[in-house]
Amino acid sequence: MNGFWGSVNSTLDNKGRINFPARFRRNLQPEDEDTLMLVRGTHPCISVYPLTSWRYLIEDIRRKVQTEREFGLISRRLMYQAGEQKIDKQGRLNLSADLIEYANLDSEILIVGYQNKLEIWNPDKYQQFVEATETDYQNIVRDLDI
């Protein structure tokens, strides 16, 4: 299973491409074949899954849901605006216009490692998220004695 942590500031070019950081590329597995699934995040960001993590996520959802109807509902919403992208030879990743709009991305972006996936954020939106969740975060880490 992949693991991603930390964050990297990057830029979005006028063709909708970002440089996919080498420190994150090193965590891809050979089976990923430099292929990533990009979907709408649960927050205003783009969730980026390596191919192996994506396959595991779909299998995990199938195991957890109770009915085929639930799986269909979740799959359709999750797949909406999803796109499979391959990192090109220059280390760039294409983002779709729909996902760029959804995440409110501008020229400056923030790529955040989040366990088995990455998230691409507008840095201002990420800062707003951090500020809005600070009290909850402090309570959780205190309870966990971290």
Annotated domain spans of the chain: 7-144
pLDDT above 80 (res 1): no
Task: Provide the pLDDT for residue 2.
Answer: 58
Mean pLDDT, residues 30-59: 94
The type of residue at 109 is I
User: How many Å apart are CA 93 and CA 52, to the nearest integer?
Assistant: 17
Which residue intervals of 3-122 are DSSP H helices? 22-25, 51-64, 68-79, 97-102
Q: What percent of the chain has pLDDT over 90?
A: 83
Phi/psi at 41 (nearest 5 deg)?
-80, 170
The residue to which tokens 């390596």 are assigned: 50
Q: Which pLDDT band holds residue 78 (cuts at 50, 70, 90)? A: confident
Treating both helix axes as pointing N-terminal to C-terminal, what angle do 51-64 and 68-79 enclose, rounded to 10 degrees?
Answer: 150
Banded pLDDT at 146 (limits 50, 70, 90): confident
Average pLDDT score over residue span 78-101: 93
Q: What percent of the chain has pLDDT over 70?
A: 99
Please state the pTM of the whole predicted model.
Answer: 0.91
Query: Which CATH code for domain 7-144?
Result: 3.40.1550.20
Supply the mean pLDDT for the chain.
93
